[in-house]
Each structure stands twice: as structure tokens, then as C-alpha cells.
Structure 1
Amino acid sequence: MRQYRRRPRLWFSGAVGSMGSSRLKARRGRVGLLAVLALLLATVLVVGWLVTGRASSAPYAGPALYPAPQHISGDGAALDFSGKVTLVIDESTDGAARSALDTLVREVAREVVTTSSAPQGDASAAGTVVYLGTQHSGGGPLEDALRGVRSAADDGSRTAALGRPEGYVLATGTVSGRPTAVLAGADPRGTFYAVQSLRRLLDGGRLAAVSVADWPLLGTRGVIEGFYGFPWSTEARSAVLDAMARSKMNTFVYSPKDDPYLRARWRDPYPDDAIGEIRDLVAAGQRNHIDVAYALSPGLDICYSRASDLDTAAAKIASVHALGIRQFVIPLDDIGGGLTCPEDRSRFTAGGSAGLAQAQAWFLNRLRDRLETDLPDLAPLQMVPTEYSGAETSRYKSRLGRDLDARIVVQWTGEEIVSHRITSASAGAARSTYGAPGKPRSILVWDNFPVNDFAQDRLFLSAVEERDGDLYKSLVGMVSNPMIQPYASLPGIATYADMTWNGPAYDPGASLDAALADLAGGDADALAALRAFTDLNQNWQLDYHPHPAPALSQDVDAFWSAYRSGRTTPAGLAERARLLERVPELLTHLRQPGYATDVAAWSAAAAHYGTALASAVRMLGAVHDGDADAADAARSATLAARDAAVVRAQPTLDRGTVVAVTGDGVVQQFLDEALKEYANAFGG
């Protein structure tokens, strides 16, 4: 609430002179009226505060929370978790949230006690008290504690958070003389998310005074393993799901194109070892409150009208359902544009792509009805159309929208297969394009970010950008299709989680830096190397290059500006070169060791480029000094390091071993210009 104060008036004693008594009375009357109005205004503000409970919020002063919450303030009390901590958890509280909180607190606390009732007796005996649970209307210790730490600045955001799916409140204060934190969820998943926020906000054993009321704006937020290339290992999927949970994602779609049992051999049952992998994936999802969806892709050779193919698809889904999966997708992407069997060609006569859409809708509608009868606990069926990008109409899309059951969700990649931008206007148009007249379709975006199966010689390590902040108004969800390298995809996935949780508050740069800091795990040298390496691999879309290697570019520009004006060159470029030389070693210090393995070919190239940059800087110094021998030696070192950076070292699925491309062209351009300076000075 803003504080309004009247400006003081200055009154002078002595004669009023020519003002006259009547004018003086009028002025005094106006002053009296102003006083009455000020009193009325103050009364309104006070009454408003009494009714709404609103007051000025204290600014929050602790670590930043990602994803950005809907509401956060510094109201409450700072808490110490390093001593004794008492956890008050009802037995009905979500098991994953209980386990996550216990693990988190034991990392910092000297002693942890768990009870189901509020502490009694000596206030100091319990230490810091943490209440965890899902809010119920029936009262109890959690609700009592939540009322006890109610912020004076509560503006209804807590009510909003605890009234929305996956919402939660995290609040600090003092209850019955005890330092207290309350983690309350609107549902079990919200309760789990409250623990994830506590993980982000704890600074060692300290928690700054904080009051959070939060909920996601987008319903489905997640990752789709949907690329062409080597499918991820069980260990990698588990690590990705753990990271997704920390960022409050809720969906993982299993759809690797090179799993033969979901695409090329979709009719065949899974062998026992593959069933074990899917079961492990489901278990990892359950402990992280992530729904695992399964994508069956029969489009390469299906006969849509054949009853046996419908039976086979239903049986395959039932076999995976038995492993605990409740969400299913039927991708019909990346297939031919026509019908492949005579029965379909004679039955579906709309012609061309419209006939294909007619057949697909027929099959999917019958499959949906079958699943609803046989497996009634399923989420709404989803599909990927053969024409899966663009919001413009076509014969295929119009027929699919008209014939496809309105309850089936369509996955869409945006205006392009790899979309530069995804706008709310385009998403809204796609709802109409894939829907029936007057009945917009539910759309989920399959976002080909930061996937690199189309450019396996590159890493795309940028934050997700150019997605409208209000897409949540048009979509039921968004999922990120990451790189073939699972661990290297983790920072990009984290930024995607931030964007989908709270799009209007999303800051790409801040989000990416927070993800890198989390991956570095407190190691300052590793973080510096990770930032420098990430900077070299920003070019996600090969034809859209807004900021190549921005930090390196800044150092290069500063160097050339000084060099060409005869001034002393800044140390930044040489320092960056030395850091790049250490990248392969320092990346092994990250919290996730798989990252260094994933990027080994690119980090080796970065190290060679670091050597080349350092040698080129020495060469230019010798050119400036006119020292031909020193310049020649540095030139030789530059060329040797540059050549080492482009050795074929990265295996691919279909292109053999390729050069691991890094530097976004900025390193290469600097080296070319430096060598020209040498040639201009000494020839050669």
C-alpha cells in the first residue's frame, strides 16, 4: 500500500496586508476542505487494509527462485536450518514430498526429528519447525501453522495458489514462539513443488525471510525424447527426470524415433529387457511427480481401416499401460503423404492428403473409443498430425479438424518444424486450423528446442527465446524436444521449465545463468568454464543467428578497438583464451559428470581454440612490436591449434564421425583477421 502524506503548508505571522479578511477566510475554508478530504482518504485506506489484509510487503533478499513465482516477498522470519529441525508431517502427506524434504533437510541440519503433531512445551526444544502437507478444509497442524505465519501483505495470492492445480505456499514466521516454515500444497504435486522451492531458497543452512504463493500458468510442462539418434540410457533418463522435478516440470513423453518397438516394429511386443527400461522410467517419474507418456508411432505401414491393426495398437497400449503409464500419443509424423494399403484407398475417398486425414481420424476415433472402454483411467489421447507445423489451412488439416474427435489433443511444432518464434496469435490460429468450425482444438506444442538431430555436429546451449509470455492462454501445454546429448540438454531444459511455468516473468539470460550455476554446484572455476563453453554454442537455429558467442564477441570487439587505435589491448580476450584451454578439465568438476562426457568432442575443440586465441594474441603483440621471429613462432602455434580444433571426433548416427563445430564462427573470424594482420606485416 502506498503511503500518502500531505505536503506541509508554511504560514507566516504578521500583517496580511492587502489579502483582506474575506480572502483569508476563503483560503482557510479551502484548507479545511482539504483536511476533510485527506481524513476521508486515510479512512478509506485503513478500512481497505482491515478488509483485505493488505499492507506493504517487505522485499525478498535471499537467493532467486526459479521458475519465477507468481508472488514472492520478504515477509516472515529468517530461519536457521543448520541446528535441530523438527518436521511436522501427517502420514497422509505425499510420499515423494516427504522423502524430498527429509533428504534436503538432512543435508544441512545437525539433527532432524519427524512428528505428526505440532511441538509442545519448551519453544526452543524443537529448533526450527517445518510443516509439510496438502491443505485440507478440515483444519489440523498444517492449517493452524499456515494461519500463524500469515503475511500482513497477503493479498489473496495464497488463496489463489491453494485453489489452483499444482499450486503451493511456502511461508516463514513464528508460531507459538517457534521459528517456523510452512510448505503447503493445493494437491500432492503442489506439496512436492513447495519442497523444490525450499531447495532453491536454502542458502547453506539459512533461509531468508520469505513468503511465496505460486502456481503454474501452463498445464503440461515437460520434455519429449523425440529426436532421431541414439536413444537415451536408463541412467540418463533418470537424471533428466530428477532435473525436471527440480524445475517443476510434470510430463515426460517417451518417443525416441530409433526405438524400433514404437515405430519400425510397432506391432511387436517389447522384450523383457526393454520392458524393464520402461518400468524404470515410470518409477523415476513417480518419485518426481512426473507423468510419463508413451508415443506409439504406427504410421510407416499401418492400414488404418484394418481391424487387426486397431487391435494390435490397442493391445500394445494395454501392455504399456500395465507398466503404469496413463498418457498416450499417436505420432503420425514423418511418414508418406498417402495411403499404403488397398483397403484404405477404397474406403477413404476424399483424395490426396484429405484422404490421409480422413483415414487417420477414422482410426484414432475408434482407438480412443476402445481405450475409453478398456482403460478408463487414461488421460485424453493425443496425436501428432502428418502436417504438424504451420497455422495456415490445408486440405489435410481441414479434413482432420472436421473428422477427428474433439477430445483428442493435437501436438504442433509451431509455424515451422524448428520454430524461430511461437506466438500466441499463431497458436490461437492453430486451434482453429486443427479444429472443427466453431470448435477450436486443444493444442500442445512439441517444441523442437534445443534438438540437434538435424545438425549432429553442433551443440545448442542457449536459453529458449522468442516464445510469447501469454501462450498459456492458447495452449494446454508445451514440451521441449532436447538434444541427443541428455546431460548437455539440462540447462536448456531448465530454461524451458521457467518459460512454461511463468511466461510473463521469464528472463532468458537470468534463467540460463541460474541453470549453469545449479549445474556447477558451487564450484566457481567450473562455473566460469561452463559459462565460457556455453557462450561458444549459442547458435541454436542455423539460419537465425542473433547473438553469436556474445561474451567472446564482446572481448574480441574490445581487443580490436584497442589494437587498431594503437592503445594497450585489454586482457579480457587473453584471459578467456586461457579459460577455454582448461574447459575439458573444469567441466569434469560439475555436479553432473555426464555433462563432460556428452560434450567431450566440443570441449576438446574449445580448448584447442583457446590455445589458438592465446597464440594469435601473442602473434599480434609481436606484429605490433615488429618482432618477426616471435610473430612467426606464434603464427605456427596458432595454425597448429586451429587445425587440431577441426579434427573429426564426434560420432553420429548416419554421417560417420564429424567435426565438432563450436565457437559460433566468432573464434574462426578472429583467427582469420589476426592471420591477415600477420600477412600484411610480414607477408606469407
Structure 2
Amino acid sequence: MAAPKVELTASALLLVATALASPNALAEPTVLPAIFPAPVSIALEQGRVTLGSEVVLVVGSGVEPGIVQVVRATLANAGVRTVQMARRVPANLDRPHLLLSVGDSGAVREALGPSGVTLDANAEGYTIVVRAQGAGGLITLAGRDSDGLFHAAQTFRQLAQRGTIPALVLQDHPSMPVRGTIEGFYGAPWTMADRTKHLDFLGTMKANTYVYSPKDDPYARARWRDPYPAETLKALSTLATTARRNHVDFVYAISPGPTVCFSDPADAQALERKFDALRAIGIRDFYVALDDIEYKKWNCDRDATAFGPSSAEAAGVAQSQLLNVVQADLVAKDRTARPLIVVPTEYFDAKESPYKAALRKHLDPRVVVQWTGTDVVPPAISVPDAKAATKAFGRKTLLWDNYPVNDYAQTTGRLLMAPYVQREPGLSGELTGVLSNPMNQEAPSRVAVAGVVAFAWNDKGYDAQRTWHAAARDLAGGDAQATEALLSLFDTQHLAPTFGTQAWQEQAPQMRTLLDGVRETISEGDALGRQAALASLARQADALAGASDLIRAGTVDPSFVEQSRPWLDALQLWGRALQQTAAGLRAADQQSEAAGRYFAQAKALAGQAAAVQSIPGATRFSGPIKIADGVLDRFIKDAPTLISWERAVPTER
């Protein structure tokens, strides 16, 4: 058979001719890369640098070996097989060259000069310039300090994922000096392995603080005066080393409040001994937790003599005295020690009170005060809220954000995985930082913590939805299908409760939109519209039913899979129930008696799904798993009433 004749128009011929004359004319366009947390500024320039199989690495003086290891690992993951070392950047860039440097050295000024920029001079700041030149190009990672260069290496890890990096100029530094998590929940503490993984995660997100404060560590609360067993000290030392490698400050918190005698020098000395033992294993940052205690009742008669009858004001004076002694001891033993952190007994709201007035008057101004916002679990935090807290405590506060913690009754059966929202841009002007109180489940906590840390890094440039999606991609190992499956799960765990009856984030907004659309089309649309809506529902039900298997398939972080196991089990059952519901609605639309069978199967599967229980002991409150509750269960229950499907069947004669 003769080949078909193909005719090209004049414009098509011109396009082909242009492509042949200029091979790069139809090349993939250069696009602005997505970086999380969002940098302060990033701008594309002309060209791009392809890493290829060989890169020359130039390491300036004072660069930590650990940072070099991070960069080498990034290059290997990008397909670079050979890394040659050089002492300086040559004039002729015949291959890609990568410069690592700390401080405003001559080499940095020379590398940044052609782009007309200087090194970001803010604490933890860094500058990245990618310049295409000759057969290679120059990539400069310059940190104002070692922390800044480490952050630059984390940004480079994101830039290098595709092997080709666009020419660009990136300037970046954090908005808030303190960013990270406080393991401050009740219930089963994280394991040491969980903490290690979390510290590695914090490093990738440019966080810089982790507070060790599990409520169920007896040596930090009930037996706070007793020394730690040698085995525990060894484990804490290993964690502190992991934290340093990730440029994260490991802060040890102690909770003496339930039994401390504020006026007894022996108790102050017991605190100092505890901190001395931890300082000896490499921990240099400390915290005293005075939350969740009865502060209008003395623990010893001595305090009544020293401070008078028990009251909120007297408690503020007594606590200040003890904290001031500890703060002075920290400085005396380590002149470079960071200030002591305290969470006070009145840790929420910013209302004036005798207790806050006493802290404001008597507490050493160097001591950092934590504050949880307008409530224990606040629905929102505004700049005026933070200003009021600054006034109430006499200093800018460090926000303890009780999200996504799930250790209170309203969170029973839930993972809290909605995006981090309702915190006002501009809070960096009134806060010293933000620490997230995570869930008992470490890996699922990363979804929300990623948002908390990204907000603290750049509150004015923070994009909640994009950061949420980036967290899903990270947990999925970059796999697109697994990412979509995770986002489906996240939507079913979108509800964020408070201590009251009103949640501050709604449940399953994406699913609600879908199911409400199906309801509206059934009630108001025509036959074709109903068929299209029901076909769409069937596809979404298939995706929901298959999401758990995709999450378990191997690319998603194994810790996430294990810690969310009952939620994955329940999600699959609810997905199958929705499949049967969709089939029932299609059958009802076709006036088929099969609708009854489908709806009955959906009801049975929904019953099985609702009976799935959380892992015993994993959280403070155990109970049935909640999956898009109030949305998915309601639709499945209502579905048999949406279309009249019962009809008389003629009897055969």
C-alpha cells in the first residue's frame, strides 16, 4: 500500500525549517523551580547547567565535612558519577563547577559579582547563583554562616533533582529565628528511631529546633530529680549528635512543676545537676516546663513562708525566682549558652492577669516564654494576638502551636493532616519563632510540621496548599501516583478539632465538593448530567478504594505506612463502600433492581469500616478510626434515597 500523502502548510514548513536551523528552538523552556520552604527571592537568568556525569567541586575553608557529604549525596542522586576536587574556580569552565563557601570570601565575591548580588548577610542566610558559561557552568552555594550553607545545600538538593538546573539568583534567610517541633504530647512517646528520622526531616526543611519534652518520660517529670540511667543518656547523646549534623538545636525540657519546692535551694541544685549531666553528653540548650500544674497550691510549706499564701501572683513570683537562678547558672557554666526557655502555667490567651504581671516584673528578660495562642488549640492567630502576648509577658513570645497534636479526646481516631493555615503573615514581627506540637505518630506528623516550619521560615511567602502537596510528594518518594493517593488520605483527615465543639478546619473539603456536586446533579440535572456525575463518582470511588494499596506499594516512607495502618485499612473499606454506592446509584438511575443489592453491600462495608480501631496504646485516646466522617458516611447512608429505584416487575405466565 502506498504511503499517505502529507501536505504541510507554509507556517508548518517555516516552523520545521526553524527547528532544523536552530536545534534548541523547540527545547523545553526554562521554568522557575519550586523550593520549599519558599525562599525570600528567586529569579531566573539566561541558560541552564546540566550536571551530567562529572562535576568539579571547590570547597572553601571552614566548610563542614557534613555539608560536603550532603552535597555529594545530592550529586550522586542526580546521576553524577565522578566528583573531582579543586582548590579554586578556573577561568575556563569546561565542566560544571560547584563552589561551597562560608562567609564573604574573595572567591564568593568573585563568583557572585557577574550576577550583581552580594552574600545574604542575615543569620542563617545564604545565596545561590547558578551561571551558565561555556561547556559547563558555575553553581555557587554561599552561606553567611555554617547554618546558612547547610540550608543552601538543602535547597540545592531540590534544585538538582532533575539533573539540569536553570540559571538563577536565589537569596534566602529565615523570618523567625526559632523553627521546629516540641515533642510535648501525652501518651506514647516517640521511639529513639522516630526521633532520629524526625531530626533528619527537620534538617531537610531548614528547621533549627527540636525540644525533647515527652510528658511520659518519668525522668523528666515524675522522677525529675533522679539521674537518667546510663543507657538513656547514651541514647540522648546519639540524638544530640544527629541534631547537630542536621543543624538543629536539641533542647532538653524538664517538668518539675508537680512536686518542685520553688524556694528550696536543693531543688534548684537538682535542676542544675540534671542539666550538668546532659551538658556532659553534648546537650547545651535547656527548657523548664511549668504547664498543666496546680499553681494556686504550694507543694511545700517552705514556699508559703517565702512567698506568702498561695495565689496566681505568688506562683509567678516563685517561678521567676527559680527560673532566674537556673538562667544564671546556665550562663555561668557556658557563656555561649542560649537563653533558657519556659512554658508558663498560664500559657494560653494574652489577657492581663496577676500571674502574667508577676512574670513580666520578676522574670529575667533573657528567658524565652512560650505561648500557645489565644487558646490551648487556637482556631487562628493574628498579628494583634501576638502583639497582645508581647505586652502581657513583657517580651516577644515563642509560639507553641498545638497542631497537629492528637492527644486530646476530640482527636480520637484521627490523624490531623490538613494544611497549616489561619496563622497571619507578618507574625514574624511579633514572635521569636514557632514550634509545632506533633502527633504521637511521627511520620504522619510531617505533613503539618512541614507547613509550620515553612511558615516560620517565610511567613509572608508561605503557600499552604503548595507546601501541603510538597509534603505528600516527599513522603511518596516523588512518585506521582502515591502522591495523589496520599492527598486523598489527607483529605479524609482534614478536620482539625479544638477543645470545644467547633473545629478550626473542616473535614474532607475536596470530597465534600465532589459528593455535594453529585447530589445537586441528581436532583437538578438532566439524564446526561446524571450519567456524567455518576461516572465521575465511580472513578473517584475506584481511586479512593485503591489509594491504600498505592500507599503500601513501596515508594511511601515505611514509617508512615506502619503508623497509619488502621487508617489505611479503614480507607480501603470506605472506598469499597463508595464503589458499591456508585454502582447502586447507576443501577437506580437505570431503574434496575440490582440497586438494592449494591446499597446493601455498601452499608455492610461501611459498617466494617466504622468498626476499625486505632492501634492500642499508640495514642492517649484509643477508639474507632474516623475517615471523612460527616461527609462520606452521610452520603453512603443517604444514597438509596436520592433516586427512586424500586418498581414493580411483571409476573411471567
User: Do both share a fold (TM > 0.5)?
Assistant: yes
2:70 aligned with 1:70 = no
Determine whether 1:605 maps to 2:584. no
Q: 1:590 aligns with which of 555, 558, 561?
A: 555
AA paired with 2:197? A
In structure 1, what is the equivalent of residue 417 of structure 2? 461
Tell me the CA shift for residue 178 of structure 1: 4.2
Question: Do the aligned partners of 1:559 and 1:569 also contact (CA within 8 Å) in 2?
Answer: no
- Contact persistence 2:341–2:370 (CA under 8 A): yes
In the other structure, the counterpart of 2:122 is 164
Q: How does 1:126-205 map to 2 (within 5 A)?
A: 127-137=95-105, 139=106, 141-147=107-113, 150-151=114-115, 154=116, 158-159=117-118, 162-174=120-132, 178-205=136-163
Quick check: 530-539 or 365-374, which moved more? 365-374
Cα offset, 1:557, TM superposition: 2.0
> Relative to 1, partners in 2 of residues 1:429 and 1:122: Cα closer, same or farther, differing over 3 Å?
closer
After superposition, what is the alpha-carbon deviation per residue over 1:92-140, rounded to whole angstroms, capped at 9, x for unaligned?
A: 212222111011112223433342412558642xx21000111234x2x
State whether structure 2 residue 601 is matched by structure 1 residue 637: yes
Which entry has the higher C-alpha Rg, 1 or 2? 1
**Distance in structure 1 (CA, Å) of the matches to 2:389 and 2:623:** 38
Contact 1:418 1:448 in 2 (8 A): yes
2:624 corresponds in structure 1 to: 659
Q: What is the distance in 1 between the residues matched to 2:555 and 2:221?
A: 36
Aligned to 1:568: 531
Distance 2:482 2:375 in 1: 36
Measure, in 2, the Cα distance between the counterparts of 1:680 and 1:356.
69
Contact 1:548/1:666 (<8 A) preserved:
yes
The 10-residue stretch of structure 1 (382-391 or 455-464) with the greater mean CA deviation from structure 2: 455-464
Matched residue, 2:435: 479
Which amino acid in structure 1 is aligned with residue 126 of structure 2? Y
Partner of 1:512: 468
The percentage of aligned residue pairs carrying the same residue is 32
Aligned to 2:11: none
- Per-residue displacement from partner, 1:7-33 (whole Å, max 9, x unpaired)? xxxxxxxxxxxxxxxxxxxxxxxxxxx
Q: How many angstroms apart in 2 are the aligned matches of 1:255 and 1:431?
A: 24
Aligned to 2:18: none
Q: Which residue of 1 aligns with 2:401?
A: 447
Change (3 A) 1:682 1:534: farther
Return the offset for 1:400.
Answer: 1.7
Which secondary structure state, in structure 2, belongs to the residue aligned with residue 488 of structure 1?
helix
Give the TM-score, by structure 1 length: 0.85
Counterpart contact for 1:87–1:130, Cα < 8 Å:
yes
Find the residue that maps to 2:639 and give its secondary structure. Answer: helix
Output the CA distance in 1 between the equivalents of 2:261 and 2:251. Answer: 24
Cα pair 1:234 1:280 within 8 Å, conserved: no
> Which position in structure 2 is the counterpart of 1:579?
543
Per the alignment, residue 486 of structure 2 pairs with 530
* Residue identity matched to 1:429: A
Deviations 1:187-206 (A, max 9, x none): 00101111111111224211
* SS of residue matched to 2:442: coil
Question: 8 Å contact 1:62–1:207 — kept in the other structure?
Answer: no
Unaligned runs of 5+ in 2: 1-28, 649-653
Match of 2:217 among 259, 268, 287: 259
In structure 2, C-alpha distance between the alignment counterparts of 1:397 and 1:675, rounded to whole Å: 58
Instruction: Give, in whole Å, the separation in 1 of the partners of 2:504 and 2:362.
Output: 40
Query: Does the 8 Å contact 1:76/1:211 carry over to 2?
Result: no
Residue 434 of structure 1 aligns with which residue? 393
Contact 1:67–1:502 (CA under 8 A) maintained in structure 2 = yes
> Match for residue 220 of structure 1?
178
Do residues 540 (structure 1) and 503 (structure 2) align? no
1:76 CA drift (Å): 4.9
Q: Does 1:423 align with 2:393?
A: no
CA contact (8 A) 2:75 2:160 kept: no
Deviation sequence 1:423-451 (CA, Å, 0-9, x none): 1111111111112xxxxx13101111111
Aligned to 2:370: 411
Shift of 1:82: 2.3
Deviates more, 1:578-587 or 1:460-469: 578-587
**Farther off after superposition, 639-648 or 297-306:** 639-648
Contact 1:285–1:291 at 8 Å: present in 2 too? yes
Partners of 1:587 and 1:241 in 2: how far apart? 23
Number of residue equivalences? 607
Structure 1: distance between partners of 2:41 and 2:309? 53
Cα distance 1:229–1:221, how it changes in 2: closer, same or farther (>3 A)?
same
- Distance 1:569-1:326 versus aligned 2 partners, 3 A rule: same
Kept in 1, the 8 Å contact 2:566–2:615? The answer is no
Amino acid at match of 2:614: Q
Structure 2 distance, partners of 1:265, 1:679, is 66
Identify unmatched segments of 5+ residues in structure 1: 1-58, 436-440
Matching residue of 2:338:
379
Query: 1:650 and 2:614 equivalent?
Result: yes
Q: Determine the C-alpha separation between the residues in 1 that align with 2:222 and 2:228.
A: 13
Distance of 1:381 and 1:655 partners within structure 2: 29
Indicate conservation of the 8 Å contact 2:434/2:453, yes or no. no
Q: Equivalent of 1:274, from 206, 215, 232? A: 232
Give how far 1:545 is off. Answer: 4.9
Aligned Cα root-mean-square deviation (Å): 2.1
Deviations 1:381-425 (A, max 9, x none): 111110100011111111121111111110000010011111111
Deviates further, 562-571 or 420-429: 562-571
Q: Deviations over 1:24-81 (max 9, x none)?
A: xxxxxxxxxxxxxxxxxxxxxxxxxxxxxxxxxxx97143111111110102531111
Of 365, 379, 386, 2:324 maps to 365
1:321 and 2:279 matched: yes
Quote how far apart the aligned CAs of 1:558 are. Answer: 2.2
Contact kept in structure 1, 2:74 and 2:160, CA below 8 Å: no
1:169 match: secondary structure: strand
